[in-house]
């Protein structure tokens, strides 16, 4: 099982889907980035995962579909509509169909399962909850909804506080808690997504953090920061503005109480090891430029998990007679 936000997490999810039998992989998707826009219910992290796993993703932007046309957006602009959040014509079909089915009373997880089947995706994408959870950012100019902060204001406002409105009342996806309690689960992989806005919302759901800590399966986290810089997005800037050093070590400390292994780039891994965090540190290149990089990192993560499982299991007395 993998916990993932959008762009960084989706790359590793793709790598995992190619080194595992894809139907054995469940990716739990952050939904706290979701929002209502132009009367549509939009789930960016689910869609980034869907498009990436279906090979339909736009690799330049990391979101939306490749080969998009923009007739809807240009017509909307003529009408004076809001165009700061770009919706391509084919992408729009997902938002319109998801909105129609949500309004008809279907759950987000049911809709997601069906959309994945129609897009030929064998991996299971599971929204973290079917109840609404919304990231809100307190900045020096007041509170902002997440997409206003992230897209409309391009993550420029200074972040003073992050809250996940609705998390305390939201029910974690039943499948999520069941997997964490499953004795046959191979590993829990925390993808290299932004810990503050993509992983924390999942862990903020009632009982999830405790279930990850109590999980028998090894928990492996991949650093989203390389040499003090986030690979993409505002992770480092947000950490810095919240008064913590934007480093792989900071991320390892945030996860230390619930992970067995922290996977980071060699230079960062050395620093994290010196921090003596009672977490095994595995050094491997974590920047995923190519498909081979995604598969390499996926294999490294799974090997680290399997080694941790062997270390944790009762000593295997090999019958050598
Ligand atoms: N991000 C942008 O920076 N600009 C956009 O216009 C934009 C449109 C968009 C449309 C659909 C979608 O699923 C994602 C989109 N994103 C856009 C990315 C989105 O804000 C982020 O992927 C997540 O919210 C953070 O991971």
Query: For 162-179, how does the pLDDT look when each residue is reduced to its tens digit (9 = 90+)?
Result: 999 999 999 999 999 999
Which residues' Cβ are closer than 6 Å to ligand 1? 5-7, 33, 44-45, 47-48, 63-64, 85-87, 91, 147, 150-151
Q: Is residue 84 part of a domain?
A: no
Q: Is residue 277 part of a domain?
A: yes
Q: Is residue 263 part of a domain?
A: yes
For a mutational test of ligand 1's pocket, the pick from 85, 87, 92, 154, i.e. the residue with the most ligand atoms closer than 8 A to its C-beta, is 85
Q: Is the pTM of this model over 0.75?
A: yes
What percentage of the chain carries pLDDT values higher than 90?
Answer: 89
Q: Is residue 87 part of a domain?
A: no
Sign of CA dihedral 124, 296, 48, 201: positive
Q: Is residue 15 part of a domain?
A: yes
Q: Is residue 208 part of a domain?
A: yes
Q: Is residue 224 part of a domain?
A: yes
Residue nearest to atom 1 of ligand 1 (CA): 151
Q: What's the CATH number where 198 sits? A: 3.40.50.10680
Q: 306: exposed, middle or buried (C-beta count within 10 Å: 0-12, 13-18, 19+)?
A: middle
DSSP, residue by residue, 125-190: EEESBSS--EEEEEETTEEEEHHIIIIITTT-SPEEEEEEETGGGPPBPHHHHHHHH-TT---EEE
How many angstroms does the Cα of residue 193 sit away from the middle of ligand 1? 14
State which residues form the domain around 227: 2-32+166-312
How many angstroms does the Cα of residue 319 sit away from the middle of ligand 1? 55
Q: Give residue 231's pLDDT.
A: 77
How many angstroms does the Cα of residue 42 sit away from the middle of ligand 1? 10
Domain count for the chain, please give it. 1
Q: What is the pLDDT of residues 169-227, one digit of tens each?
A: 999 999 999 999 999 999 999 999 999 999 999 999 999 999 999 999 999 999 999 98
Which of ligand 1's atoms lies nearest the C-alpha of 33? 24
By the 8 A CB rule, do 188 and 180 touch? yes
Q: Is residue 246 part of a domain?
A: yes
């Amino acid at each position: 099982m993998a916990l993932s936000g959008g762009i960084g997490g989706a790359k590793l999810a793709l790598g995992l889907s190619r080194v595992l039998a894809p139907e054995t992989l469940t990716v739990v998707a952050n939904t706290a980035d979701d929002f209502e826009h132009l009367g549509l219910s939009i789930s960016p992290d689910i869609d980034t995962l869907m498009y990436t796993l279906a090979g339909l993703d736009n690799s330049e932007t990391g979101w939306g579909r490749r080969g998009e046309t923009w007739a809807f957006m240009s017509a909307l602009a003529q009408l004076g509509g809001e165009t700061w959040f770009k919706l391509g014509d084919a992408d729009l079909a997902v938002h319109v169909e998801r909105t129609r089915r949500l309004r008809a009373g279907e759950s987000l997880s049911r809709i997601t399962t069906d959309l994945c089947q129609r897009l030929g995706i064998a991996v299971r994408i599971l929204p973290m909850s079917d109840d609404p959870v919304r990231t809100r950012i307190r900045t020096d100019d007041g509170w902002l909804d997440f997409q206003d902060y992230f897209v409309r204001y391009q993550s420029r406002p200074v972040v003073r506080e992050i809250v996940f409105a609705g998390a305390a009342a939201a029910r974690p996806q039943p499948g999520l808690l069941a997997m964490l309690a499953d004795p046959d689960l191979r590993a829990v992989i925390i993808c290299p997504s932004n810990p503050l806005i993509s992983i924390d919302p999942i862990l903020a759901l009632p009982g999830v953090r405790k279930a990850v800590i109590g999980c028998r399966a090894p928990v492996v986290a991949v650093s989203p920061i390389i040499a003090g810089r986030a690979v993409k997005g505002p992770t480092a800037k947000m950490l810095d503005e919240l008064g913590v050093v934007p480093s792989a070590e900071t991320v390892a400390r945030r996860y230390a109480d619930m992970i067995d292994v922290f996977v980071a780039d060699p230079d960062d891994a050395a620093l994290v090891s010196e921090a003596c965090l009672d977490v095994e540190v595995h050094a491997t290149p974590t920047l995923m430029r190519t498909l081979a990089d995604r598969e390499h990192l996926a294999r490294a993560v799974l090997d680290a998990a399997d080694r941790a499982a062997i270390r944790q299991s009762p000593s295997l007395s090999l019958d050598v007679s």
